[in-house]
Structure 1
Amino acid sequence: MLNINNLNKNNTYISIWLYLSLFLVSSLIFIGGLTRLTESGLSITNWEILSGILPPLTEKKWEEYFSLYKKIPQYKEINFGMSLAEFKYIFWWEYIHRILARLASLVFILPFIYFLIKKLLTFKQIVLYSIISFLFFFQGFLGWYMVKSGLISKTDVSHFRLSIHLLGAQIILSLIFFSILFRNVKKIHLNINSYLIIFFLILVYLQIVIGAFVSGLDAAKIYQTWPLMNGHFVPEDVFIKEFSDAKSYSSPSHVQFLHRVIAYFIILIFS
């Protein structure tokens, strides 16, 4: 009886850990979206893994961070003349995003190590949670790789790098979600073709990537009518054959059109 009680208790702890991780990663994606919308992602120009845990605590430290921001193109070309108070506003969004990323990583990795030492996980779980742990570390690198693209010659981050960073977060979220799902549901019966499910999931992830393109290029501002785009299903400046050219994925019009079309396919399959 004692062993059964211990087993149930351990399973409860593991479930709480996974649900908490799911909540934190979801919150991280949400805050990341707000960071993007407020154009705050370039406010911290250094990647400070340990020293960056504490925010500026003195006026001198605030001025140091602000002076670093003044050196990048975004300040010079878009936010020139910004006050320190305005800088603090965008700084806090990026800072919260980075701190939450550290917290989510620690909340997942440290309990995983504990459960591993206590031998409470199956081999499949160990493999899966090891992959997720690696992805948490890799996400940190991808985040900095993305930010770095907007520090030298551009006023914004690369929409390609933005999409990779977002996709990485969504993959982590999905792995944790399905881990929870299969812990609670032993067998799922679906009267749907498995290939259709796979195709549906591919479209969803592709839509996330193209959505990041739309955000990174501010493509949503180009056409603000629906269901037609300025009176046309296919806008006059969009040529279907050009989608074979990589340059078209840097065109706001092409990207927004593709984003809409994929959404229609997803709705069609889901229906």
Structure 2
Amino acid sequence: MNTATDTCEANDSRPGAFDPVATWLLVICAMVFAMIVLGGVTRLTQSGLSMVDWHPVTGWLPPLTEAAWQAAFDAYRQSPEYRHVNAGMSLSGFQEIFWLEYLHRLFGRIIGVVFFIPFAWFLAKGRLNGPIRKKCAILFVLGGLQGVLGWYMVKSGLVDEPSVSQYRLAAHLSLALAIYLFALWTALDIIQPRYAVVPRDRARFVAWATGVLGFIFLTVFSGALVAGLDAGLMYNTFPLMEGRLLPADAFHLRPVYLNFFEDRATVQFDHRVLAVSTVCLVVAFWAGVHRADAPLGIKRGAGFMALAVLAQAGIGIATLLTAVPVALGALHQAGAVVLLTSALWCLHQARR
């Protein structure tokens, strides 16, 4: 007989019942979701390079005196962004971009506290069983790595060019999404325990859902490359790119593989192809699970995913046609998280 795994046995909780550990993890998920959107806004407003140093332990407070503000501004004036983009910026203008980056970093620290204190309390009270305890420990380590990776990304824009590496930006977003999805999966395991061994009648649905989730993640990763290269600011037409399916200046770098990561025209073309393919794949998955008469939970998950992908495609097209305004750009990033959430939930439904 198949048995469920990763239930919170130490909590004596029933599947679907209120569980403080699951609730805590869902709160973390909500905070990470907000953090991802805030990070997108920080990038879209060109605020991410306003803080040119990083003090992970002592950097909780912003400048509190005029002298402290002037010192922070003087440090910023030594950066490539000030010299090449914001030369002549006033102190008040600097404060406007400083606050968003400061809030982004502060919120990251708050997430760390909201994670660590309950984690330590649950450990002390014996409220975490072995599998959940290990997963939470992994989440804690990943959270610390995310902070380091964030600073590593920012440093790439403080050397010569006033822009961060698209590789580091994509890695930073990917790790944030991985943390979010891992925390959500762990919470779902507590709320709705899944099979240790997937039943044979569900194996194909698990395989399909896993493939769809992976393809969506790849599409989001390509979107991060678009963001890192500001590739969304060119070819603001759809479905063609200034009258062509493939723009004339695509694939001009050598070796050829560099175009997929460093050429703006090619990177935007790639994201378009992946996005359209994602829509087709999700709709096909939705049709497939209904045709195969899958269990109700899988059908609901597929339906949620289909709605999410259509909405995300519409937002993405609107964002492109309007040359990436801040509100739409942030909404598009949020839509990516919603789409990934729907795919993960559908996969979890297939495994229970």
Give the TM-score normalised by structure 2.
Answer: 0.71
Q: 1:186 — aligned with what?
A: 193
Of the three residues 245, 249, 258, the one matched with 2:257 is: 245
The code of the aligned residue for 2:261 comes to: Y
Correspondence 1:230 to 2:237: no
Cα shift at 1:25: 0.6
Once residues 204 and 241 of structure 1 are traced to their aligned partners in structure 2, the CA distance between those partners, rounded to angstroms, is: 27
Change (3 A) 1:130 1:244: farther
Structure with more contact order per residue of length (Cα contacts < 8 Å, sep ≥ 6) = 2
Q: 1:53 is paired with a residue of what secondary structure? A: coil
Once residues 185 and 243 of structure 1 are traced to their aligned partners in structure 2, the CA distance between those partners, rounded to angstroms, is: 48
Which deviations, in whole Å up to 9, do the C-alpha atoms of 1:163-187 show, x marking residues without a partner? 0000010001101111222222234
Q: CA RMSD in A?
A: 2.3
The count of corresponding residues between Structure 1 and Structure 2 is: 267
Q: 1:245 is paired with a residue of what secondary structure? A: helix
Change (3 A) 1:260 1:242: farther
Q: 1:82 is paired with a residue of what secondary structure? A: coil
Once residues 240 and 208 of structure 1 are traced to their aligned partners in structure 2, the CA distance between those partners, rounded to angstroms, is: 24
The code of the aligned residue for 1:80 comes to: A
Which deviations, in whole Å up to 9, do the C-alpha atoms of 1:14-55 show, x marking residues without a partner? 132112111111111111000000111110111111221011
Which deviations, in whole Å up to 9, do the C-alpha atoms of 1:97-123 show, x marking residues without a partner? 000001111111221122122211111
The code of the aligned residue for 1:145 comes to: Y
Cα shift at 1:74: 0.5
Segments of 5+ residues of structure 1 without an aligned counterpart are none
Once residues 165 and 58 of structure 1 are traced to their aligned partners in structure 2, the CA distance between those partners, rounded to angstroms, is: 32
Once residues 126 and 104 of structure 1 are traced to their aligned partners in structure 2, the CA distance between those partners, rounded to angstroms, is: 18
Cα shift at 1:269: 1.2
Of the three residues 107, 122, 134, the one matched with 1:115 is: 122
Q: 1:261 — aligned with what?
A: 273
Q: 2:233 — aligned with what?
A: 221
Segments of 5+ residues of structure 2 without an aligned counterpart are 1-8, 196-200, 284-352
Q: 1:166 — aligned with what?
A: 173
Change (3 A) 1:255 1:243: farther
Q: 1:86 — aligned with what?
A: 93
Q: 2:142 — aligned with what?
A: 135
Once residues 111 and 265 of structure 1 are traced to their aligned partners in structure 2, the CA distance between those partners, rounded to angstroms, is: 41
Q: 1:102 is paired with a residue of what secondary structure? A: helix
Cα shift at 1:196: 2.5
Identity between Structure 1 and Structure 2 (%): 37
Correspondence 1:15 to 2:38: no
Of the three residues 8, 21, 33, the one matched with 1:26 is: 33
Which deviations, in whole Å up to 9, do the C-alpha atoms of 1:123-147 show, x marking residues without a partner? 1111111111100000011001000
Q: 1:73 — aligned with what?
A: 80
Cα shift at 1:260: 0.8
Contact 2:260 2:266 in 1 (8 A): yes
The code of the aligned residue for 1:180 comes to: A
Once residues 46 and 172 of structure 1 are traced to their aligned partners in structure 2, the CA distance between those partners, rounded to angstroms, is: 25
Once residues 124 and 53 of structure 2 are traced to their aligned partners in structure 1, the CA distance between those partners, rounded to angstroms, is: 35
